[in-house]
Amino acid sequence: MTVVGPFGLSVQDRDLTRDVQAGMDAVEAALVETVKSEVPFITVTASHLIEAGGKRFRPLLVMLAAQFGDPYAPGVVPAAVVVELTHLATLYHDDVMDEAPVRRGAASANSRWDNSVAILTGDFLFSRASQVLADLGPEAVRIQADAFERLVTGQILETAGPRPSEDPLQHYLDVIAGKTGSLVAVSCRFGALMAGAEPRVVDLLTQYGERMGTAFQLADDVLDIASDSHESGKTPGTDLREGVPTLPVLLLRQTPVDEDDPADLRLRELLAGDLAEDDEAHAEALRLLRRHPALERARRETLRYAEEARALLEPLPDCPAKAALQGLCDAVAIRTM
């Protein structure tokens, strides 16, 4: 058994392993070359997150989706570069908005330099992604433009917050669909499209990517509460400390207050306060939320998205790539346990 890509994705087929690894290696080399600038300082800042590593989840999906056509078609690797550059660019901007000091175990660009450098570097990566994209044809440009609009809209919705008349949970799911689901869906779409897969296959894989993007983000929400192993890449309870209402907290707030349960009352009291500076209160809230039924509801909701993604794969022909994509659904289940 060979492990390929992030999340412990297991692949038993040697040909698939070879194809995917060759594609990922080509993407990595292309990323390094694509961000080089005539201005040495820009090369340094643009290479910062590439050198920090990362899961390369989106390029992996491009490579797996391309297996339903010609995985060595000339547009496959450039398409993977486009989605990863777009993703990296959003990270530079996100770190500025979140005032994050660390990204992928290294100082964030805004921390190492300043906000202006981080924002402009993100813009530079967007411009380089556009240059690569232009060679893939007008349809690819349109697809990426639509996805980018959804991504930005999701970020704006998150920043603005839900309207008074809006369901906060639905608002949150809409934000995730825009910020995460859109680019993951495009990754699957580009892989299949550039490989020349049949239109029906392209459509099914796009829908699969949409749901998997949401499922993995919701799994991170569960991990932020449930995990002690830092599997999410963050210290457990980070969102809780920062007052970010993710899936478990939103589901808790949808649940009627149990006046006979002191733990439920105490948890709601803690969540209504400021946990940013109070370590004891934060630890208590984390402990109580781990025991609350809302966390199990969050697990079930996450698994629902993963199972919807799995169901979309059923009409596709049986092949190692299909098994690998199904394995990602299993990975969601493992991540939320």
Q: Give the tokens for residue 337.
A: 């346990």
Sequence-ordered list of residues with C-beta below 8 angstroms from that of 132, at least 6 positions apart, any chain = 34, 78, 81, 82, 85
**54 and 100 belong to one structural domain:** yes
Q: Are residues 221 and 188 in the same domain?
A: no
Q: Are residues 281 and 139 in the same domain?
A: no
209: in domain: no
Q: Please check whether residue 37 is in contact with residue 124, taking contact to mean a CB–CB distance below 8 angstroms.
A: yes
**35-81 pLDDT per residue, tens:** 999 989 888 888 887 777 778 999 999 999 999 999 999 999 999 99
Q: What pLDDT, on a 0 to 100 scale, did the predictor assign at position 14?
A: 85
**What pLDDT score does 234 carry?**
57
How many residues are listed for the chain in this entry? Answer: 337
Q: Clarify whether residues 166 and 295 are in a common domain.
A: no
Query: Given 166, 197, 228, which residue is the final one in a domain?
Result: 197
Q: What pLDDT score was predicted for residue 3?
A: 42
- The tens digit of pLDDT for each residue in 223-256 reads 889 876 544 455 778 888 888 889 999 999 999 9
* Percent of all residues in the chain with a pLDDT value above 90, rounded to a whole number: 63
Residue with the two structure tokens 């550039």:
194
Q: For 155-169, what is each residue's pLDDT tens digit?
A: 999 888 999 999 999
For the four alpha carbons of 321, 322, 327 and 329, in that order, the dihedral sign comes to positive
Q: Is the pLDDT of residue 296 over 90?
A: yes
Residues 59, 172 within the same domain: yes
Structural domain boundaries enclosing 238: 217-337
Pairing of strands 102-103, 106-107: antiparallel
Banded model confidence at residue 10, pLDDT cuts 50, 70, 90: low
CA dist., res. 225 & res. 208, Å (int): 26
SS3 2: strand
What pLDDT, on a 0 to 100 scale, did the predictor assign at position 307?
Answer: 95
Question: Considering only CA atoms, which of 313, 172, 325 is closest in space to residue 253?
Answer: 172
- Written as six digits, the tokens of 300 are 């079930």
Which of 197, 228, 257 finishes a domain?
A: 197
- Is 25 a residue whose pLDDT tops 80? yes
Q: What pLDDT sits at residue 105?
A: 57
- SS3 readout for 121-186: HHHHHHHHHHHHHHCCCHHHHHHHHHHHHHHHHHHHHHHHCCCCCCCHHHHHHHHHHHHHHHHHHH
In terms of DSSP H, where are the helices of the chain? 14-34, 40-51, 57-66, 76-98, 109-112, 115-134, 138-160, 168-176, 182-194, 199-226, 238-241, 247-254, 262-271, 279-291, 293-313, 320-336
Q: What is the pTM of this model?
A: 0.89
pLDDT at position 162? 92
Domain harbouring 164, CATH code: 1.10.600.10
pLDDT tops 60 at residue 314? yes
- Number of separate domains in the chain: 2
- pLDDT over threshold 50, residue 2: no
Average predicted confidence (pLDDT) for the chain: 88
Question: Within this chain, do residues 5 and 135 fall inside the same structural domain, yes or no?
Answer: yes
- Render pLDDT for 181-207 as a digit per residue (tens, 0 to 9): 999 999 999 999 999 999 999 999 999
User: Which segment of 50-59, 210-219, 263-272, 310-319 scores lowest on mean pLDDT?
Assistant: 50-59
Q: Of the given ranges (26-30, 91-95, 99-103, 147-151), which has the lowest mean pLDDT? A: 99-103
- Of 248, 231, 243, 232, the closest CA to residue 288 belongs to 248
Of 89, 92, 70, 66, residue with least CA distance to 79? 66
| 173 and 266 co-located in one domain | no
Pick the last residue of a domain from 128, 162, 197. Answer: 197
* pLDDT at residue 337 in the model: 67
Query: Quick one: tokens of 191?
Result: 């892989």
